[in-house]
């Protein structure tokens, strides 16, 4: 373990999204001293000059680490790799298991996050039935990805490298969309069992408690006061695009 300067904590900027959650899991698994700072993404706080100085892409999470002075670190996968290297934990040192673990972190980043995120957008952010082609396309992609995950976990306890790792932490928060996406958990028994194994870990339970304490009430309040303009900017809708039928605000 690499010690930070005395009295200095890591700071994670974010909210309760899967990409933030995966980093909180790692912080707790490593037993690090950290602070969670809420970013009101539904009220455009991510577009303020202060936040853009941390991440010009206006996305959470962002980690500030005393061991990286003046260098805020964005992108959840990059943060997981950094913390694994920093602490010497949850990323195997042997070449084969290490490469496999890295592959599955990137598989989550490149496939599960984007595809499940798009299905979220077309099934939760927009009014039901307003975009049937897009909804069907991303549902088909999600079905394929959930099946792949269940098939892989049918023959192993953990995703990669022969042990619990940052690959499991990266994937775990996304796997809880299975039911929200209206897939039957009974058809994915290995995936559900793996979700439970991880959820029962003490560090994961501590992480969920920290997330609830730091974010849940603030997210609810920010959504209550969010305007149509706030939601449109959050979803990346600009004036050059066709109008969107958002579920949370009237047309």
- What's the pLDDT score for residue 235? 95
Report d(CA 81, CA 94) in Å as an integer: 15
Domains of the chain are 10-89+204-234 (3.40.30.10), 95-200 (1.20.1050.10)
- What's the pLDDT score for residue 6? 46
Per-residue pLDDT of 151-164, as tens digits, reads: 999 999 999 999 99
- Cβ contact 217:38 at 8 Å: no
Concatenated DSSP letters for 85-148? HHHT-SS-SSHHHHHHHHHHHHHIIIIIHHHHHHHHIIIIIBPTTSSHHHHHHHHHHHHHHHHH
Q: How far apart, in Å, are the Cα atoms of 120 and each of 60, 62, 178, 206, 214?
A: 17, 22, 11, 26, 23
- CA-closest candidate to residue 146, choices 180, 196, 98: 180
Ramachandran category for residue 70: left, alpha or beta (phi over 0 → left; psi -120 to 50 → alpha): left
The pLDDT-based confidence of 166 (bands split at 50, 70, 90) is very high
First-to-last C-alpha distance (Å) of the chain: 53
Tell whether pTM > 0.85.
yes
Output phi, psi for 190, to 5 deg.
Answer: -70, -40
Helix (H) or strand (E) holding 22: helix 18-29
- What's the pLDDT score for residue 182? 97
- Tokens at residue 47, please? 């577009």
Cβ neighbors of 160 (< 8 A, separation 6 or more) are 97, 100, 101, 103, 104, 167, 168
Checking if the pLDDT of 110 tops 60, the result is yes
How far does Cα 82 stand from its chain's mean position?
16
Report d(CA 155, CA 159) in Å as an integer: 10
- Cβ contact 15:69 at 8 Å: no
Checking if the pLDDT of 3 tops 80, the result is no
């Amino acid at each position: 373990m690499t010690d930070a300067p005395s009295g200095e904590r890591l700071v994670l900027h974010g909210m309760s999204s899967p990409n933030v959650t995966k980093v909180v899991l790692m912080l707790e698994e490593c037993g690090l001293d950290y602070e969670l700072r809420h970013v009101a993404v539904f009220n455009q706080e991510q577009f303020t000059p202060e936040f853009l100085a941390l991440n010009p892409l206006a996305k959470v999470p962002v980690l500030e680490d005393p061991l990286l002075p003046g260098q805020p670190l964005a992108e959840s996968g990059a943060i997981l790799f950094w913390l694994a290297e920093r602490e010497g934990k949850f990323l195997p040192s042997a070449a084969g298991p290490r490469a496999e673990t890295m592959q599955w972190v990137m598989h989550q980043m490149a496939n599960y996050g984007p595809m499940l995120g798009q299905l979220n957008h077309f099934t939760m952010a927009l009014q039901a039935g307003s975009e049937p082609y897009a909804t069907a396309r991303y549902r088909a992609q999600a079905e394929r990805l959930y099946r792949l995950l269940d098939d892989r976990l049918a023959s192993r306890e953990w995703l990669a490298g022969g042990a619990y790792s940052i690959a499991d932490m990266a994937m775990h928060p996304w796997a809880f969309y299975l039911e929200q996406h209206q897939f039957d958990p009974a058809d994915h028994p290995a995936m559900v069992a793996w979700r439970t194994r991880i959820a029962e870990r003490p560090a994961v339970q501590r992480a969920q408690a920290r997330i609830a304490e730091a974010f849940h009430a603030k997210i609810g309040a920010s959504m209550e006061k969010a305007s149509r303009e706030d939601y449109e900017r959050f979803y990346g809708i600009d004036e050059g695009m066709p109008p969107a039928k958002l579920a949370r605000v009237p047309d």
